[in-house]
Amino acid sequence: MSEKLSYEEFIKKAIVKLRKDSYKGIHTVYSGFNQAFKKHYGDVDPIQATNELAAQGKIVIRPVRGGVMLYLPEEAPAAANKGDEALAAIVGQGYDDAPKLSYEEFIRKAIPALRKDNYKGIHTVYSGFNQAFKKYYNNEDPIKVTNDLAAQGRLVVRPVRGGVMLYLPEEAPLAQTKGDEALDKILEP
């Protein structure tokens, strides 16, 4: 068997050889990259290896639904700053001069400002809420704050893939467990 490639060589080759059509990057899960990396290197964590190379500027990582995209630095798209867009939608431009909103006021404005289509809630990651919250409150933890407000009944938090959904209490859908859903399906006529 030949010598193993360095992580950098392996990852850069993977980006070039696994990308599809006109895409410049690869999705670490859907392309098969994570599985190939683990098969080639054994117990080495592909997340740790890619994060180290990204920190060194050798590759670029962009979060996406279901994982991350990997790019060569010279081909990476500009980073969209969802947090800045979300913050502008919540509090408007020039928010630095206005009095600071309370956590609850911020969230009560964020949910209607950031929700899509017919949804009543917002996904904390995909909507840009977490980034906006951290920027507005100088890196305070949105998870702790939203969990505290939920414990007080002033917010509803529901876990979903990739984060949580936030709802105003008066708009939250009824909680239903997977067991309830399964039973409903089994017993429906």
Q: Which fold has domain 7-75?
A: Arc Repressor Mutant, subunit A (1.10.10)
What CA–CA distances, in Å, run from 140 to 103, 131, 134, 151, 187?
Answer: 11, 10, 5, 18, 46
C-alpha to C-alpha distance for 116 and 106, rounded to whole angstroms? 18
pLDDT tens over the chain, length 189 residues: 457 889 999 999 999 999 998 889 999 999 999 999 999 999 889 999 998 998 899 999 887 777 889 999 999 887 667 778 888 889 886 666 678 899 999 999 999 999 988 889 999 988 989 989 998 998 899 999 999 999 999 999 998 877 899 999 999 887 766 676 677 778 877
Is the whole model's pTM more than 0.75, yes or no?
A: no
For 42, residues 6+ apart whose C-beta sits below 8 A from its C-beta are none
Ordered by start, the domain boundaries in the chain are 7-75, 82-171
